[in-house]
């Protein structure tokens, strides 16, 4: 895959993920959940804008200048603390719709991360561009997975088992 094709494909992935987040905002009853989906959707729009600027630069100059891609995704430690605080905000009502939306978002984040992982492996010269996107998308996955774990009361938190009935 050429760099131009990779950037165009990345824009398609980011657009799908952005739309999934922003289209789901109104269907989420919990204010915290709505805020998370809105912020993630806005971040994905920032990714689209960044990629479109890189594509334009590539077409004009045949080169990509280094520029930092920022993220609103906090460090994993901050995410963990935030999820612990969710207990104060969530009631015992049914979160079926939110759960479905989170599962869809997680699937899309995983698919997008897989694409970026492939680009890091295939496009050696411009791997930094895609490596940063991979890092950010993995942060998005962590947020979505943590919310899913919490809603499902699965006994896991960030892929670590918090408890087991066999202990």
Residue 86 confidence class, pLDDT cut points 50, 70, 90: low
Q: Is residue 166 part of a domain?
A: no
Q: Is residue 118 part of a domain?
A: yes
pLDDT of 32: 74
Buried b (16+ CB within 10 A) or exposed e, 102-112: beebbebbbeb
pTM of the model: 0.75
Phi, psi of 50 (to 5 degrees): -60, -50
Q: Which CATH number goes with the domain that contains 128?
A: 1.20.1260.10
pLDDT digits over 17-56, tens only? 999 999 988 887 777 778 888 988 999 999 999 999 999 9
Angle at 102 between CA 40 and CA 120, to 5 degrees: 60
Q: Is residue 35 part of a domain?
A: yes
Rounded-to-integer distance, Cα 143 and Cα 164, Å: 23
Domain containing 76: what range?
A: 3-161
Rounded-to-integer distance, Cα 67 and Cα 3, Å: 17
> What's the domain count of the chain?
1
Q: How does DSSP classify residue 30?
A: S
Q: Is residue 167 part of a domain?
A: no
């Amino acid at each position: 895959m050429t760099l131009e094709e990779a950037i165009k494909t990345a824009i398609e992935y980011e657009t799908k993920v952005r739309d999934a987040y922003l289209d789901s905002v109104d269907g989420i009853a919990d204010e915290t959940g709505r805020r998370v989906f809105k912020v993630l959707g806005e971040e994905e729009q920032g990714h689209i804008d960044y990629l479109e600027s890189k594509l334009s630069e590539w077409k004009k100059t045949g080169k990509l200048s280094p520029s930092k891609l920022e993220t609103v995704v906090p460090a994993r430690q901050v995410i963990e603390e935030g999820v612990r605080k969710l207990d104060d905000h969530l009631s015992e009502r049914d979160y079926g719709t939110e759960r479905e939306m989170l599962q869809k978002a997680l699937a899309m984040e995983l698919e997008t991360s897989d694409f970026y992982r492939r680009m890091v492996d295939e496009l050696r010269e411009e791997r930094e561009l895609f490596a940063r996107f991979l890092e950010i998308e993995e942060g998005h996955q962590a947020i979505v997975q943590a919310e899913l774990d919490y809603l499902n009361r699965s006994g896991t938190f960030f892929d670590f088992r918090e408890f087991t009935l066999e202990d």
